[in-house]
Amino acid sequence: MTRSNTALRPLAEWLQRLLLCVLTSVSLAVAASPDAADDRLYDFDDSPRAEVLRYPDWFNDPFLDLPADLAAAREAGKKLIIYFGQKRCAYCHQLMDVNFGSEEDIVEYTRRHFEVTPIDIWGVAEVTDLAGRTMTERGFALRNGADFTPTLIFYDELGTEVLRLRGYYPPYQFRAALEYVADAHYQRESFRDYLARGENRMVFDETDLNDQPFFQQPPFNLDRSQVPGERPLAVFFEQGDCHPCDVLHGQALREPAIARAFAGFDSVQLNMWSQTPVVTPAGERTTAQRWAEDLGLYYAPAVIFFDEQGDEILRLDSVVGFYRLRNVLNYISSRAYLQEPSYQRWRMQRAF
């Protein structure tokens, strides 16, 4: 080796170490990001599955005695999760196949800190609830408002509900939910604040959001408290740098029938972290960020539907695809909520 090459070797080694550090930092950042750009988590066929769902073997046996399950969890130093699902629900399969299938850390953490009791929302087996009342699984699901499956309700040691997940949440948010409850963060802060702190959430400009021709433009005076609206209202709460938002706009909202349905509503889009002025359907003057906080929203995109009087009909605040969105839009567009305010009961009536 020449003298010049020998002199350059320390510099080359330092550059190699620097490059390795940079690559490692980038890899860690991607791994820590909210399920960065993983389309299998947001873009999948959400129509009913042909195969019947199987629960993990570490779920509680479905004796459906919830006070006994709560006591057993407390004795083991754990908390109780009640899982509401359907045997052919694509989102339930997604939870079992991905979160409880390929994510070993989630399985290990869940088994260490929780007992999980499954409820079939179509089931007719008898359930004893935490207050000692008995009813069918179907009746229990209806009473708990499990409109979208999977629904997971987390309870503390005393049997008090401390968190509810409606629908499928990808591994990042699901891990955060487990940790939020296991470490009792609910005693100090909302899940929205806990997630935002973990993500170091920034406020993005409105230009970062996906636009749609059916979105109404500001100012956002959504007041229906004095004069009822002529059509239902759909409010899209979104944020910038949001892959599931991009999937919703790039897939489901490109479907002509879905776009037409939203065009038949009063549809608005809000950045859920912005200070955009809003008058809510109840007539309250606020900002988009404060309203999203008051509504308890922690997932984007979230779509909340309001009736002509400004009362909330239902909300989609988890991963949603064509099949689920079409069903919801049929319920809203047909004004079925006027005769049947329970979306789940409406679905059950149509199934029989």
The pair of three-digit structure tokens given for residue 180, joined into one six-digit string: 């939020």
pLDDT at residue 29 above 80?
no
**Residue 201 confidence (pLDDT):** 56
Report in angstroms the alpha-carbon separations of 334 from 51, 235, 330, 346.
Answer: 31, 18, 6, 12
pLDDT of 13 strictly over 80 = no
Pairing assessment for the beta strands 161-166 and 151-155 based on DSSP bridges: antiparallel
Tell me the CA distances in angstroms from 176 to 80, 163, 244, 300, one per residue in order.
16, 12, 17, 15
Percentage of the chain modeled with pLDDT above 70: 86
Strands 266-271 and 220-221 come out as: unpaired
For residues 176 and 198, the answer to whether their CB atoms sit within 8 Å is yes
What residue segments make up the domains of the chain, in order of their start? 66-199, 206-351
| Residue appearing with tokens 């009746």 | 139
- Considering the segment(s) 206-351 as one domain, its CATH architecture is 3-Layer(aba) Sandwich (3.40)
Looking at residue 102, its amino acid is: S
Instruction: Say how far apart CA 154 and CA 32 lie, in whole Å.
Output: 24
Name, in order, each residue with C-beta under 8 angstroms of 286's C-beta and a sequence gap of 6 or more: 277, 278, 279, 280, 294
Q: Which CATH number among 3.30.930.10, 3.40.640.10, 3.30.30.10, 3.40.30.10 corresponds to the domain 66-199?
A: 3.40.30.10
Range with the poorest average pLDDT among 36-45, 153-162, 168-177, 221-230? 36-45
Closest to 217 in 3D by CA, of 263, 265, 267? 267
Model confidence over 308-320: pLDDT tens digits?
999 999 999 999 9
**Nearest CA-CA partner of 344 in 152, 165, 84, 146:** 146
Same topology, domains 66-199 and 206-351? Answer is yes
